[in-house]
Amino acid sequence: MEFRRMGHSGTAVSHLCLGTMTFGAESTEEQSFRMMDDYVAAGGNFIDTADVYTAGASEEIIGRWLKARPTEARGLVLATKGRFPMGGGPNDLGLSRHHLTRALDASLSRLGVEIVDLYQVHAWDALTPLEETLRFLDDAIRQGKIAYWGVSNYLGWQITKAVHVAKAHLFAPPVTLQPQYNLLARDIEHEVVPACLDAGIGLLPWSPLGGGWLTGKYKRDQSPTGATRLGEDPNRGVEAYGPRATREQTWTILDTLQQIGGPQGRSQAEVALAWLAQKPAVTSVILGARTPEQLAQNLKAADLRLSPDDMARLDDASRPSVGDYPYGQKGVDQRHRRIEGGR
């Protein structure tokens, strides 16, 4: 396992992170315990959760595991999130001081810890003044309840605004962003990744395998069935399978993964995870698994390093459509043109 600084902080985390959204829902407590055991045994030290994962059950399972494994717990970097509803009241959601005070305390209680290493705001809140949220996070650091803070699902301008508001008020700045990012979803490269690189913010990509697509389990002209997320939920399957199945680029990406991984004896999932781990600004890739067997397969990517040629092949196969302006060639020409009077 490779270790990297968590954004611009001094804390080192493994480049593969264990995501726990399945704990208490798709994964039993016994399976969840085994996945945490296996992850730590593989050299990982970074576990990510959130209060809304199975209505707090994920944090509770992790808390019981931490209590039962004091030696393993000592070296872990623990991350959780707050923002979404945990009750039916008008203040039981959002990024206000009122809600986050209670959300953070509740998370600490469920996890059975006095401090969480990384506390992330789960999404933008247009109703709460940004200064209020950032002051709460800075106060939580000063109170010893969190070590660092980050954001999730923010746009480029939102990241940059948070960075500069924090700087203007001398608040601790954000160190990470948790976005969706994979070979099938690269649109964050237009604005979000540059904003993170500019601010020294580390990416913690979620859904690195595109909901299972990049494992190769789905086939052209064959609707998903059986023990897959799309196969087990027909309504979700129709909604999520159709748009990607009808894109020729989807199958080009899958073919390229197989062409690169096959000769090396590597699965498509391993290659997809390795590609993402090598992208600019990425600190740690979040692995989400329903079973210990799925996690074991994904952890095989820990020692895979793709060549520049293989990275370029995957970049070309998955390149997002950008149109002509502002991200296409006309936009590039406009940005790099020396303007001598007029436009």
Helical residues (DSSP H) of the chain, grouped into ranges: 29-41, 57-68, 70-73, 97-111, 130-142, 156-168, 192-199, 229-232, 234-245, 248-261, 268-277, 292-299, 308-318, 329-336
For residues 118 and 13, what is the distance between their CA atoms, to the nearest angstrom? 11
Exactly one of 53, 119, 154, 241 is catalytic; which is it?
53
For residues 21 and 16, what is the distance between their CA atoms, to the nearest angstrom? 15
The residues, ordered by sequence, that sit 6+ positions from 247 with a Cβ below 8 Å of its Cβ are none
Sole residue written with tokens 């309840």: 145
Please give the structure tokens belonging to residue 239: 């909604």
325 is catalytic: no
Burial class (CB in 10 A: 0-12, 13-18, 19+), 339: exposed
Which residues are marked as active site? 53
